[in-house]
A and B are shown apart, each in its own frame.
Chain A
């Protein structure tokens, strides 16, 4: 094949296919949350990224279904980084026996 024709064809393929791919991506991305709001609420509690809802003192909300959450719950409670931890199940409580004095645990059922 003529080198100019080959070069022009390959550049045209890249232009068209890249535009098509970018369009397809635009149609797909951002339509569904990776984490549902319930999980995002864990996160906000974990790092304190969002202020507690007005009128409450809740600063932590951890679920027990994830190993990392249990691990982090223990850590947060030990260092009193989240003075009040809200957990979704009383089953979590045995996991936080090392909690520092002054840390309150409350329960909340996941929606």
Chain B
């Protein structure tokens, strides 16, 4: 039943996103699938938090409603994309690299089925309480070291799956959810880049950059909330650039419920997109998530340890030094993904932004960097310890967003080699 429960949530996420953004295009389908699953899981988590006793009934109703909307949806025809004769090489390489990466993650999850420290000390522990008879234990002040002020979405997703499976507390559930978020993050990154730039080559290249991101990948078997947060934030940015504002708002709301950093992201994202587009759609999408996090923070969460603290600017040197030292650790030596991104920028060259929301999205990225800096300046913990234990995770949170924002500004191989592979109008759109 656990797996049926996860499937049910995934299905209404996919159906809902199809109703909002469906077109007849293979890459677009990939986006709907890979963004729809985390969307459905997130919404199912919010439903579980709101009505734990009746969540399955609400899930079933939501599935019916989204299936109806998806059935009513008439997907727009997408114009054919330019082709590139050697995209199949990129596709093969990306598939092989991701196969190795997924095998690595699976292997690490098998050796460490319970994840790393924060997984069993915070996220899965609170999931157990949410699945149990006294959910209030998840926000009890007695477990202050377990951070009861952290948002509950990831724990709720795990708790729901555990509860529907008869509370066996199978460690395979959080491990599978962690892998699912990673796989969906990879899929949505590649498909979003491809759809925004109408270029399969850029989609495959983004996947290859991700496959070289060993620091990001090593976070997956830890079962922390940083990868789900990275996925929700990247999905929100992708929806802004693809002009799917309601879905963008939904993802921003889910990010706010995943980690405290997500609250800063949601605020910056909503302000930036509202100011730039002057359309309220994004706010409509964010309503469920905002309502959930405001209710949680106002009525249930203990006060955050960061609240009311003044910044200690003497830490600035240590923070900058640690940030610089982090760069080589993003990957292995010459295969460092940041280096590979620079190689692509140098080789493909920059081009004008395709979306008016690109600059606001970069601003959101910078706001997040500023929020992290503020957290380090105000943390009540020893700053060296805090930097050592969190900086690679914070880098992981923004990594998908960074690859997305850089890749959508590059010229595609299709454009550069247009003379080699002339446009074929009969080629099905979105094919590699």
The interface of chain A, by Cβ under 8 A from chain B, is 3-4, 6-11, 13-15, 17-26, 28-35, 40, 42-44, 46-50, 67-68, 71-72, 74-75, 78-79, 81
Contacts and interface: CB of A to CB of B under 8 A. Distances in A.
Given A11-B413, A26-B103, A44 B114 contact: yes
A77 to B, nearest CB: 11
Nearest to A1: B347
Contact of B340 (A8, A14, A35, A47): A14
Contacts of A18: 93-94, 97, 208-209, 211-212, 335, 340
B107 interface: yes
A46 B143 CA distance: 12
Contacts of A9: 347
A20 B124 CA distance: 34
Nearest to A81: B137
A49 B114 contact: yes
B201 interface: yes
B205 A25 contact: no
A40 B90 contact: no
User: What band does the interface of chain B fall in when counting residues whose beta carbon is under 8 Å from A?
Assistant: 35 or more
Q: Please classify the interface of chain A as helix (H, G, I), strand (E, B), loop, or mixed, using the class held by over half of its residues.
A: helix
B93 A48 contact: no
Contacts of B170: 49
A5 B268 CA distance: 40
A23 B212 CA distance: 9
B357 interface: no
B140 A49 contact: no
B90 A4 contact: no
B344 interface: yes
A31 to B, nearest CB: 7
A67 B144 CA distance: 12
A72 B97 contact: no
Contacts of B425: none
Interface string B125-138: 10110001010010
A91 to B, nearest CB: 19
Contacts of B171: 49-50
**In the complex, which of the residues B109, B134, B142 has the most CB atoms of chain A within 10 Å of its own CB atom?**
B142
Given A34-B112, A44-B114, A49 B201 contact: no
B169 A10 contact: no
A43 B124 CA distance: 10
A11 B346 CA distance: 11
Given A14-B343, A34-B116, A79 B134 contact: yes
B104 interface: yes
B382 to A, nearest CB: 13
B276 interface: no
B100 A25 contact: yes
A85 B334 CA distance: 49
24 contacts: A4-B416, A6-B346, A8-B413, A11-B201, A14-B208, A14-B209, A15-B208, A19-B211, A22-B98, A22-B100, A22-B101, A25-B100, A29-B108, A31-B111, A34-B111, A35-B114, A44-B114, A46-B121, A47-B128, A49-B169, A67-B145, A72-B125, A72-B143, A81-B137
